Chain A
Amino acid sequence: MNTEELIAHSRSRFDHHQARISVREKYQAKLAFAYRGGLWRAGPELHSMITTCGRTGETVLPDLYDTPVLVDVAELLTQSQERWHEQMTAWLVEYEELNKTR
């Protein structure tokens, strides 16, 4: 076994791991968006809450601060999905750049 190679590989994976965590945290933060005075985090959890609330038109949903907010279901879902896709795409681009750099 080439232990030098193993050590080099292990070190590189360690550094890569921290960089990946850092980039993931960045895009987690960017998922937050404002709508009708409430703060929301785009993602499957919010999409599920919107689609399973059983309403079209307006309804009341709790935001990240557990404040009830009167929302337009279609409008909130659209904004959330757009934010989600935008940030996931940006994350992928930065993730691939990171892989090349390392």
Chain B
Amino acid sequence: MTRGVTIFAFNNHQTDYLAMAAWSAQNIHRHLDLPVCVITDIDDATRTANFDQVIVTPSPQVQQHRYFYDYKDSGVWHNMNRSTVYDLSPWDHTLLLDADYVVASDQLRVLFEIDQDFLTHRWALDATGYPPFADNNYFGSYRMPMHWATVISFRKCKTARLIFDSMQMIRDNWDHYRQLYYISEDTYRNDYAMSIAMNIVDGHTLSASAIPWPLISITSLSRLTQVDTDTYRVEYENSNTDNRTKWILLKQRDFHAMGKKTLGEIVANCC
């Protein structure tokens, strides 16, 4: 059985996701000792040298726009083809990571050693404890449990195929599902579609298995800097207390850098 990591990287005018993915591939090789495949629309061997496999595919035809708080600007968000990973990923057992997920430990390696066909994070939390993240772990007026699409471990099997096929169906009929689940945002989100798909495939039992530790997140409200290899400093303010700047260190700990700007700066300084 082949095993590896797959990352989608479609740049927009603000963020060089391919550079992020290439930087991440180095971290993945170092900590997880796994091959990395990138799925991108950039056919440039000099920019994809860090990857073990490169799949060049056109960027999604349907484009979404969203507001990025750290850039204080709207940008194109190429997130509509995530569900194609089942067919595109070359591995029998794939760990699908967002380009802005920072691997700083070997924590994810255990997911390849257990008999589970499809796993995601059920719970995300902010490493700083602020802002409170509890509401982000549910979506829609019915507070459906959120499964985060940032890290997905799946094996090529019927369950995974049905989940990704269902995601495509939900994406193609997003207005219908948005109304069905009372989701106020217009924007299509993979997290929502995947959560709905997982629940359908699980027979609407809300019993999908999850990665048994939380997804550590750093929002765009915080400032992220790299202190050392695998050590990051997160500065933040908490308006609930006194607005002064506080900080914590993340040492050898994986996390989701939701603020693309500061992660982009770290990547740019490294390369």
Which residues of A are in contact with B by a Cβ distance under 8 Å? 11, 14-15, 18-19, 21-22, 25-26, 28-30, 32-34, 37-39, 41, 63-65, 67, 94
Contact = CB atoms under 8 A, between A and B. Distances in A.
Interface in B213-254: 213-214, 216, 241-242, 244, 246-253
A14 B241 CA distance: 10
B127 interface: yes
A34 B209 contact: no
B12 interface: no
A39 B110 contact: yes
Nearest to A20: B248
A39 B114 contact: yes
A65 B209 contact: yes
9 contacts: A14-B241, A18-B129, A22-B253, A25-B216, A29-B213, A30-B107, A32-B212, A33-B110, A39-B212
Given A15-B246, A26-B253, A65-B116, A34 B110 contact: yes
B250 to A, nearest CB: 7
Contact of B129 (A21, A29, A34, A94): A21
Interface of B: 105, 107, 110, 113-116, 125, 127-129, 209, 212-214, 216, 241-242, 244, 246-253
A37 B107 contact: no
What are the nearest 7 A-B pairs in CB distance? A34-B113, A29-B213, A37-B115, A39-B114, A34-B114, A34-B110, A19-B248
Contact of B128 (A18, A32, A33, A63): A18
Contacts of A67: 115
B212 A18 contact: no
Nearest to A21: B129
A28 B127 CA distance: 14
Given A32-B212, A38-B114, 20 more contacts: A11-B244, A14-B241, A14-B246, A15-B247, A19-B249, A22-B248, A26-B251, A26-B252, A26-B253, A29-B107, A29-B213, A32-B110, A33-B110, A37-B113, A37-B114, A37-B115, A38-B115, A39-B212, A41-B212, A65-B209
Contacts of B250: 22
A19 B113 CA distance: 31
A3 to B, nearest CB: 14
Nearest to B105: A30
A30 B214 CA distance: 11
Task: Report which residue of A19, A26, A30, A41 has the largest number of chain B beta carbons within 10 angstroms of its beta carbon.
Answer: A26
